[in-house]
Chains A and B, each alone.
Chain A
């Protein structure tokens, strides 16, 4: 009985996704009729320069914003866990995670306009750093709950100054959390649409993959997009697997 329940829920979650994957191999290219198995949409996908340019932009945005957020989020988590933060700081660090994207998007756009900042990939990156930092911080903090904080004082006591203690003791222990947080923030950044759309500015040079897909489906869902989405799903799945392993798994060193 429990199994059936599980199957129903997983079906509910995954049948649409499986449909999309199946359709990406549909020769007819129509969602309404099956024209036989074909990989031609994948071939077309790889010949589409626009898609590759957008993919490149997305990877740049996701990588750089993840690196910055990884550092900021880890430091924030450390400060909050070791120095003991108050409720106000806790809430403030949490808000970028739960605030509606559209609100954050408008806020960031207004802010950039106020600063008279030219918009482009760099402004998308800065915007993504905002929510990614909050996510990295949240994940890294779970790692801090996992060990006895006295080991930090023990390290000082045995002659390890602040930097050495961070390098030798704190960082190796929280590293799995940092990796998991970075992977999460990479996937979030990779498929983020609303904030990128608002803060990208005019011009196609800063179009990211989600933005390109959005502009493409205004003329109907093409099988090419199905093929692309299949790749993205596969990619996300792999990242989630790695991230789970690094949180659950033993210490990496």
Chain B
């Protein structure tokens, strides 16, 4: 288990990480998600030992590693640029970590050959990094870390440099490797899809602080504030137009009744595009009318951009490809009251 206790790190009096505490379990695939500049990479570098935290402590399996140098920590970091040694072949790149541990040559050769098979690099052993494709480079970088059997593998934006098809493939591969080696993975990313698809748990970071930590399902279904709701998936927000304790008034004075014992006087309500329906369904339906401003084609599920009196902003609604809808036509839309999130 890795424990971060009250970690703070400042650069020029600005907090990159601010009093952050976090526990990550053994064998967990954990994602640190946030916009650029939120401190996620700094946190990763603090864990790997390349930055020294101003305050706080790091424990791995109860052992305090706060003051250990990068070369003695039981962590390995996979760099965003992969950082392969250009003057070494694939085989030598992978063997480098074990050679530093002064393992015997036979052991190293055996382990390297094993991991080359596991990461599908057979046939490329004697190539130099510049002769590899992006995906192959990434596999070498992974193999080079995995062979050290670290307690924690840190991955800095591992998929960002890859094109879309390769990204999908590598997602599956990363997950498989993580299961196979049973090593704790901590991945840093700004891509919400990546985090939701890969991780067992996701932590959303903003300005050096954790905003929410939870499983992808929890975070998507119950974002605990406006920032998370906007950052994870799509969310339509409505601003209240009247102060009232029991009801929430939309722009055109239509309203929904607020549930008791929830957020007092919410400033906003939000609703996911897929929770706005084209046919009434469920209980306590809120109905509103809108005009189709645009249809954005995605394939299976398309997006409607709707203008309505209930909001100044256009509203995004999901619709199936078989729905026949015309631009500029007026339609009725329905939402269940319980689908609204209050912020």
A residues near B (Cβ < 8 Å) are 147-148, 150-151, 153-161, 164, 168-169, 172-173, 251, 253
Which of B69, B70, B79, B96 contacts A150 (CB under 8 A)?
B79
Q: In the complex the two chains form, is B96's CB within 8 Å of A155's CB? A: yes
Q: In the complex the two chains form, is B86's CB within 8 Å of A156's CB? A: no
- B8 to chain A minimum Cβ distance, whole angstroms, is 22
Bound complex: CA A4 to CA B79 (Å):
51
Interface string of B44-75 (1 = CB under 8 A from A): 00001010000000000000000001111001
The answer to whether A154 and B50 touch (CB under 8 A), given A159-B71, A160-B100, is: no
Query: Which of B76, B87, B97 counts the most chain A CB atoms within 10 A?
Result: B87
Please report which residues of chain B, range 75-96, place their CB below 8 angstroms from some CB of chain A when the two chains form the complex.
Answer: 75-77, 79, 81, 83-87, 96
Bound complex: CA A160 to CA B144 (Å):
13
Interface string of B94-131 (1 = CB under 8 A from A): 00110011000000000000000000000000000000
Q: In the complex the two chains form, is A153's CB within 8 Å of B79's CB? A: yes
Bound complex: CA A157 to CA B85 (Å):
13
The answer to whether A158 and B148 touch (CB under 8 A), given A151-B86, A164-B100, A173-B86, is: yes
- B41 to chain A minimum Cβ distance, whole angstroms, is 12
Point out the residues of chain A lying under 8 angstroms from B81, CB to CB. Answer: 148, 150
Point out the residues of chain B lying under 8 angstroms from A153, CB to CB. Answer: 50, 70, 77, 79, 83
- B196 to chain A minimum Cβ distance, whole angstroms, is 28
- A151 to chain B minimum Cβ distance, whole angstroms, is 5
Point out the residues of chain B lying under 8 angstroms from A155, CB to CB. Answer: 85, 96
Which of B70, B83, B145 contacts A151 (CB under 8 A)?
B83
Point out the residues of chain A lying under 8 angstroms from B83, CB to CB. Answer: 148, 150-151, 153-154
Apart from A151-B84, A159-B71: 6 A-B pairs, beta carbons within 8 A: A148-B83, A151-B85, A157-B76, A169-B85, A172-B87, A251-B86
Bound complex: CA A128 to CA B75 (Å):
47
Tell me the count of chain B residues lying within 8 A, CB to CB, of chain A. Answer: 23
Instruction: State the 10 A-B residue pairs at the shortest beta-carbon distance, nearest first.
Output: A159-B100, A150-B83, A158-B97, A154-B83, A156-B70, A251-B87, A150-B79, A151-B83, A159-B71, A157-B77
Bound complex: CA A147 to CA B84 (Å):
10
The answer to whether A157 and B71 touch (CB under 8 A), given A148-B81, A150-B79, A164-B100, is: yes
Point out the residues of chain B lying under 8 angstroms from A159, CB to CB. Answer: 71-72, 97, 100-101, 148
Bound complex: CA A154 to CA B71 (Å):
10
Bound complex: CA A172 to CA B86 (Å):
10
Point out the residues of chain B lying under 8 angstroms from A154, CB to CB. Answer: 77, 79, 83-85, 144
Bound complex: CA A212 to CA B177 (Å):
72
The 25 listed contacts between A and B (C-beta, < 8 Å) are A150-B79, A151-B85, A153-B70, A153-B77, A153-B83, A154-B77, A154-B83, A154-B84, A154-B85, A154-B144, A155-B85, A155-B96, A156-B69, A156-B70, A157-B75, A157-B76, A158-B97, A158-B148, A159-B72, A159-B100, A159-B101, A160-B100, A173-B87, A251-B86, A253-B87
Query: Which of B72, B83, B96 counts the most chain A CB atoms within 10 A?
Result: B83
Bound complex: CA A153 to CA B76 (Å):
11
Point out the residues of chain A lying under 8 angstroms from B70, CB to CB. Answer: 153, 156-157
- A169 to chain B minimum Cβ distance, whole angstroms, is 6
Point out the residues of chain A lying under 8 angstroms from B84, CB to CB. Answer: 151, 154
Query: Which of B50, B85, B97, B148 counts the most chain A CB atoms within 10 A?
Result: B85
Q: In the complex the two chains form, is B86's CB within 8 Å of A158's CB? A: no
Bound complex: CA A253 to CA B86 (Å):
11
- B12 to chain A minimum Cβ distance, whole angstroms, is 14
- A79 to chain B minimum Cβ distance, whole angstroms, is 19
Bound complex: CA A156 to CA B83 (Å):
12
Point out the residues of chain B lying under 8 angstroms from A158, CB to CB. Answer: 71, 76, 96-97, 100, 144-145, 148
Point out the residues of chain A lying under 8 angstroms from B48, CB to CB. Answer: 157
- A51 to chain B minimum Cβ distance, whole angstroms, is 43
Point out the residues of chain A lying under 8 angstroms from B100, CB to CB. Answer: 158-160, 164
Q: Please name the residue on chain B nearest to A173 by beta carbon.
A: B87
Bound complex: CA A147 to CA B96 (Å):
18
